[in-house]
Structure 1
């Protein structure tokens, strides 16, 4: 096997393990899922897994990195599309279509872990800074007359709104459509003008 083939195989195995870990963690949480669960889910023996990751903590860390990066990329893609507040608020809308139930579970688990783990919190802060910088560039092109403070306020508000909706994703699915339309009208002029 050539060096490049070996690197590809390594990356495929690591991805296989992280994918299995995501399935396990979305069902049982970072602390509830065991290495045996990950081994069973991945179809690999524990010894094989330890060739690629030295401990469960490393798997958790790599999984969190993957979740955080996916979340950043999802938001970057969706927040630059023309959207409405009602699409952001409604978890069944097109805005959320590409963010699966499994990803929603993992996002909540990641935020929970960040509340008690400094390194996870630091990782999330880093990803949010990257997202903010990328959105700032997009908003600057879309809103050239706005001040940096206005753009920053809008970005912060959108991120809080999206995070709040993501965290309440398991709540009531029956939104009052009249109230949603009223909120959308109130906020649309502020956010998307």
Structure 2
């Protein structure tokens, strides 16, 4: 049986989802820095005051958006543990093109907004910690220091690939795959003391 409180909570979640969806569209069009709350309200078909009932600021909307993107990435990491990272890198696959673009917007905003910079650090910490746990699970013989080094290298490769998607690829995906596979094999061979 659905109580009035549960129905109210469901409406609240739905309205927040609608605001986030409108924010994603607005931020993609105008950027985080350039988008005003009035533009976001118009996109959401709400008044600015109504948005403030759900989010205290534009930064709060960005924070929720980043949290959702990272949540989706963490789920994807668990569901696709067997997927080949070299293949993803070589063919420049993106989990979600829109999320990739929004995270680039977040990175740009982080250069001028310390609140958003803190969000980036938190998001990175969540992803990094999760990735370290996955590597530890798959390679329990590796030291924590070695695992952190491997994850840092993988982060540079995946994040760099996100940026490289903005330009034409300069080498064949097949050749890159071979090199990424060799690099991956080297990275995860038995740790030398």
Q: Secondary structure at the match of 2:32?
A: coil
Q: Secondary structure at the match of 2:11?
A: helix
2:114 paired with 1:121 = no
CA contact (8 A) 2:90 2:174 kept: no
C-alpha distance in 1, partners of 2:68/2:134? 24
Greater mean deviation of Cα atoms: 124-133 or 154-163: 124-133
1:31 corresponds in structure 2 to 33
2:146 paired with 1:144 = no
TM-score using structure 2 length: 0.81
Matches within 5 A, 1:111-190: 111-173=107-169, 175-177=171-173, 179-190=175-186
Q: Secondary structure at the match of 2:156?
A: helix
CA contact (8 A) 1:39 1:49 kept: yes
Unmatched 5+ residue regions in structure 2? none
C-alpha distance in 2, partners of 1:151/1:42? 43
1:88 corresponds in structure 2 to 89
Q: 1:139: how far off?
A: 1.4
1:50 corresponds in structure 2 to 52
| Structure 1 pair 83–3 and aligned structure 2 pair: CA distance change class (3 A) | same
1:12 corresponds in structure 2 to 14
Q: 1:175: how far off?
A: 3.9
Q: Secondary structure at the match of 2:34?
A: coil
CA contact (8 A) 1:72 1:128 kept: no
1:136-168 residue CA offsets vs partner (Å, 9 max, x unmatched): 222122112222222221111111111111122
CA contact (8 A) 2:70 2:127 kept: no
Q: Secondary structure at the match of 1:116?
A: coil
Give the aligned length.
187
Q: 1:187: how far off?
A: 0.4
CA RMSD in angstroms, aligned pairs only? 2.5
Unmatched 5+ residue regions in structure 1? none
